[in-house]
Structure 1
Amino acid sequence: MEDNLEGKLEQETKERWLRKAFKEEWPTMANHVVACGIAVGAAAAFSHYAPHFLDSDAAISGIATALDMGSYWGTMILQLLYRDRKTLNDKNKKIKKKRRAKKAMEYVGYILLLEGLYALGRFWGQYHLQKQGWDPAIASATVQTSMAAFSTFAFPPLRYAMRQWSEK
């Protein structure tokens, strides 16, 4: 009986944590949508024109993946810095180097965790679809949008957890 009660309490705690993570971090998804839009546009445009000067599906997919990741994080990190600006300075508006270093490590953590999975899935997905005869631009946008949908639900709890650490 005690084990069952303990298990229920543990489950409720996890559910509350997840709800709180989504509630606090869901506004960040507006930043995510902007970054995704820019990244989808850049990678799809490249993938549309690339077959005119590249013959390799792997090269097109690889370059589109790198362009996608660079344009996404270039946009997203700037937006996160703006959103987190109040936590980067102390009460006297002075720069806290230790806080900024932890925040930089938080951002690097996002990139390593999310992009490690994303890069493999996106490259393989676009390459596979192109090999099946899909237009490179359509393959790029399809895979990228699917992967972005996944990260939309993975990012809020990840950001919430990382912020708990970096803002201590």
Structure 2
Amino acid sequence: MPRPTAIRMTNEPPPAGTALFLIGMKVTKPWHLRAWLSVFIAMPRMLRYLQAHPEAGMLSARLCASPDASFSVVSYWRSATDLQRFAADPDAPHLPAWRWFTKIYADRDKVGIWHETYVIGDHEAISSGMPPYGLTAAVGARPIEPGTRTAAGRLRQSTHPRPPTADTQEPG
């Protein structure tokens, strides 16, 4: 596990097309353990698969729990295309789990699920006294410099052009 740093850090500029994927579940009827436990168990299984298969495109992920019986994952991907490719891959664990979920939980009254995908553009990030986390864990950390001491300064730097990736280049 990375060690905390004593200095304030910001992220390296992510390559164009880097995606943030948020996904979660909310237990709405906790007494229906069999209904939501299988959904809960599916996510760590997918994360283990993605950690073992970096070619799938996930850069980093963190599982989070909330006191309201909701759980979420914050993950960073090389691209939204990589994320969508993983989701549709019949040999990866997501598609079979999704098909099972949609078949079994048509009423969706015991557990809810959600997700959001963002292609990272203007952004800012800072951390201090902790290991790289979030975007800094996904794309790398660098020390705060005079131009990145404030959120406004970090946002200004995030608007500088980043090298294109295969997902963001126009077909030739």
| TM-score using structure 2 length | 0.30
Larger radius of gyration: 1
| Larger strand fraction of residues | 2
| Larger helix fraction of residues | 1
| TM-score using structure 1 length | 0.30
